[in-house]
Amino acid sequence: MRKAYALVEMLVMIVVVSALFIPIGHLTKATLYQIPIAYKDIQVNTSILDFLRQLEADINSAASLPDSIGSHKTDQNNLLIRQPDKNVCYQLKKDKIVKIIFQSDASRQETASEWPATNARIKWKILTDDDLPYALEVTTNIERKSGEKTYKKMANSHIFFVNAHQEAIDK
């Protein structure tokens, strides 16, 4: 009878240990999979915020947001900003955002900054009044695919007004 009692104890222990493996499995999955992904998303979001700070500074000192400058054109992947002393072009590439500074004739251009933007989705829309651009709306998010579903994380929308800094100083 003593051996049978030990067998029952062993079976109970197996059931209890099996029941404990379910929460431990979820905790392990979170630790090994979800936390590193969230960390990468936070790094990309920080990079996007740095890009937005620079974009805001360029828009605040902008003279205009032209449709084209030389061979460069504003579209969904290129944003042109005309400033009093230079022209700036922001380009959305596959996994990064690039800021290019060039003169009016585009004879000399240089890459000023690059921001990593893996899985980032950035869209801009120039807001106009009587065909005169007065602001730029920028929407950002980070897309994460989980199975068949795509999640939009850290979604934001920003509006930057052309020459806002100078207009505030003039008032």
> What pTM, to 2 d.p., does this model score?
0.77
Using CA atoms, how far apart are residues 113 and 88, in angstroms rounded to an integer?
A: 11
Give the residue extent of every domain in the chain. 2-170
Using CA atoms, how far apart are residues 61 and 127, in angstroms rounded to an integer?
A: 17
The whole-number pLDDT of residue 48 equals 95
The whole-number pLDDT of residue 26 equals 85
In tens digits, the chain (171 residues) has pLDDT values of: 566 677 788 888 899 988 988 889 888 887 888 888 889 999 999 999 999 999 999 999 888 899 888 778 899 999 999 988 889 999 999 899 999 998 766 566 788 899 999 999 999 999 988 888 899 999 999 998 888 899 899 999 999 999 865 554 555
| CA distances for 144 relative to 31, 148, 159, angstroms | 18, 10, 25
Q: Is 10 exposed, middle or buried (0-12, 13-18, 19+ CB in 10 A)?
A: exposed
